[in-house]
Structure 1
Amino acid sequence: MIKVGDKLPAGKLQEFIEVEGDGCSVGPNTFDVEKEVAGKRIAIFALPGAYTPTCSAKHVPGYVEQADALKAAGIDEIWCVSVNDAYVMGAWGRDQKTAGKVRMMADGSAEWTKVLGLTLDLTAKGMGVRSQRFSMLVDNGAVKALNIEAPGKFEVSNAETMLAQAKQK
């Protein structure tokens, strides 16, 4: 499992792009994690699934609300990662009004989440393999803070905790 001090593993994530530009076409675009994090401070938070209760009511809204404060604390980008496809993440981002604040990154087959060692098996609940709920502060690809939630909890991966960590590091 990834830990503080580790470099993020290589991997690909997808993001649904609404407007063509900056070399991105409309629709799902694939991004290389290593290239995207190079030279940046990024707040990454991950959650079990789009449109699920805690994720939609608390987790994503908290980061949207704190986006300006996080950027003022030196965060270049905020990523929400979930084991959903890019189309779902794009639609959910529109519903959550994340544009310009939080990048909604899809790990559709949980490949990157598996490499992180942060999967959650929700097969018994009909959801398959998902991501644990967590957040991490990444600086130029290195993990500076990692907050992993206990199953069913939402206490340490929230935007307020990330903001406090961004101000400290």
Structure 2
Amino acid sequence: MAIKVGDQLPDARLAEYKDVASEGCSIGPNKVMVQEAAKGKKIVIFAVPGAFTPTCSEQHAPGYIKMADQFKAKGVDEIWCISVNDPFVMGAWARAQNADGKVRFLADGSGVFTKALGMEFDLTKGGLGVRSQRYSMLVEDGVVKKMNLEDSGHLEVSNAEKMLEQI
């Protein structure tokens, strides 16, 4: 069953690659415990089927990066981009997208978070394995307040513009 408005985010571990060490955060992959990271925050999460894929790289992620300041102006503390990729790939993709300080690119390497949400998408026949469906959600203190799931295979309801309208 897929996560819906009113549900709590699952307690899962994601990973974030950091290029520069900071207090409490070393260089390289760092674990991000979802419930802990979401506690007391207003977060926009968007998920993509894969890093460096055409729609994800040319439209989905760039929209959130470009509009990051507008989200912050509406009280959003963080924007997360989640994909079933490893943290090294997500770190490279974040660098390629110039996302630093705007969007956190979080890896769900084994798809545990994605499966707990009920958002897995099996592309094994095409050689891509199990991926995430494309969606966006607004989360406040770990609870889903808005949910936009793409059902067309396109980018129509989970883009940055649509989410910004909903906040």
> TM bucket by the smaller chain?
over 0.9
Taking the aligned partners of 1:22 and 1:45, their CA distance within structure 2 comes to 27
Report percent identity of matched pairs: 58
The amino acid that maps onto 1:148 is L
Partner of 1:80: 81
CA distance in 1, matches of 2:4, 2:23: 33
Alignment of 1:62 onto 2:63: yes
User: Which residue identity does 2:115 align to in structure 1?
Assistant: K
TM-score (norm: length of structure 1):
0.97
Instruction: Structure 2 unaligned segments of length 5 or more: list them.
Output: none
How far off is 1:22 after superposition?
2.4
1:106-133, CA deviations, whole angstroms, 9 ceiling, x for partnerless residues?
0000011000000000111110000000
> Which 10-residue stretch deviates more, 108-117 or 16-25?
16-25
1:28 partner SS: strand
1:151 offset after TM fit, Å? 4.1
Residue aligning to 2:136: 135
In structure 2, what is the Cα distance between the partners aligned to 1:137 and 1:152? 21
2:42 aligned residue:
41
Q: Provide the C-alpha distance between the structure 2 equivalents of 1:52 and 1:108, rounded to a whole number of angstroms.
A: 16
In the alignment, which residue of structure 1 is the partner of 2:165? 164
SS in structure 1 at match of 2:4: coil
CA distance 1:81–1:136, shift in 2 (3 Å): same
Does residue 154 of the first structure (1) align with residue 138 of the second (2)? Answer: no
How far apart, in 2, do the equivalents of 1:71 and 1:7 lie? 22
In 1, Cα distance between equivalents of 2:136 and 2:5: 12
Aligned length: 166
Moved more, 58-67 or 147-156: 147-156
TM-score, normalising length from structure 2? Answer: 0.98
Please report how far the alpha carbon of residue 28 of structure 1 lies from its aligned counterpart in structure 2 after TM superposition.
0.3
| Runs ≥4 residues deviating over 6 A | none
